[in-house]
Amino acid sequence: MANKGFLPQEVIRLKRDGAELSAVDIQNFVAGITDAAVSDAQISAFAMAVFFNGMTPAEGAALTLSMRDSGSVINWQNYGFDEGAPITDKHSTGGVGDKVSLMLAPIVAACGGFVPMISGRGLGHTGGTLDKFEAIPGYNPYPSIEDFAKTVKRVGCSIIGQTGSLAPADKRFYSVRDVTATVESIPLITASILSKKLAAGLGSLVMDVKFGSGAFMANFEKAKELAENIVRVANRAGTPTTAVMTDMNAVLGRTVGNAVEVIESAEFLINTKEADTRLVEVTLELAAHMLVVSGRAGDLDTAKSSAKAALDSGRAAEVFAKMVAAQGGPSDFMEKYTVYLPVTDTLKVIPAKRSGYVTAMDARAVGMAVVALGGGRTDPAQSINHAVGFKGFCQIGDWVESGEPLAYVYADTEMAAEQATHTIQKAVQLSDQAPQKMPVVAQIIRE
């Protein structure tokens, strides 16, 4: 609750005029967001002032911690974890075909880390981890905190959706930002991401900050600015954090959708040698940084070896199977995943109109094609069709003969398949010249 005598308009005036706010000012303002002492108009004015004037690292840390403390904060020692247990997580800024969390959490758990991952739904062109898990029959993405903690302790990882008790100030703050053209503010994005993650009681965090045509921030420099700010603020807030910048100028992996991405993830865990190389590289890079920043490995080479061993031995696949079963999914999911995961009866080839190398693609257009098929949403309240999407998607550098598949589309109707075909043929660029290969991991940012 905000202190008596607190005047939100004074905090807004200070930030409007470029002053640095005290931690108390920020705490009072966030408390006012939570208990409705601050109006939507005042939230909007504050957000716009931050949008134009930014925040110092101290202000960013104060905003993040105040939003974190607006609701419940998980203390893992209350659930039987030792002090200093390697409780770690990864957060992605979102991309097209980004199913990394599904493999990453069990890999890190198989290496001795604990991964309590609170994930979100997709909105716009980027898919959501939660939507993918809801393609699995029986999977419960909203267990009680007690059951969440039990699964993390017994299995090593659990992937759930955000509950209303975690960082409630962020939910109201974001809803106002969403309709006042202030979503793109880097300090506010940082606080929004970190408040929810830190409410999960993490000991460490790794950020996957994406850039390119399929990313939330297409521009590399803006994405880098966000990554640097998140690392700076998170470390100041007491959570060791590393950011990995990854390329999202092409879909990640060979599938885009919900059930199809879970199928690709299961196949990745069972036989990594057959998996898409970019997807393997991103997943192992993030796993290695999680193991290092959480203290489970002393250096990146050792961590990558451990992560690869967890995959090759089948231990990561076993962890994934246990997590699915612990949250209500089928106990034999990894043996029968193709039986349990729905895909439509209509499967069509999307043929290349000419021969050539894949030199570029509009990954955002691919993501929106999934939305058009019914596999994504433009409004948070929409339901989605988990059975539609793309598989066998081409990658930059692939040579494709005329008439050969750029991808395959699962659609509900022939008309929807035709529309998707037109979109993908337009989104994928072919050339006689092979493109220059760009690294999928562009930069690592530490404080």
* Residues with a known catalytic role: 89-92, 129, 177, 192, 196-197
What angle in degrees, to the nearest 10, is found between the helix axes of 168-178 and 23-35? 80
Token pair listed for 365: 């257009």
d(CA 244, CA 445): 6
Helix (H/G/I), strand (E/B), else coil: 245: strand
d(CA 284, CA 269): 12
Ramachandran class of 33: left when φ > 0, alpha when ψ lies in -120 to 50, beta otherwise: alpha
Strand pairing report for 157-161 and 115-119 = parallel
C-alpha distances out from residue 194 to 60, 66, 170, 207, 380, Å: 10, 11, 10, 10, 21
Helix (H/G/I), strand (E/B), else coil: 118: strand
On the CB side of 400, how many CA atoms lie within 13 Å of its CA? Answer: 26
- Residue closest to 431 by CA, chosen among 404, 392, 399: 399
d(CA 108, CA 292): 11
Say if CB 44 and CB 180 are below 8 A apart: yes
In the chain, the N- to C-terminal Cα span, in Å, equals 33
- Residue closest to 262 by CA, chosen among 88, 114, 135, 411: 135
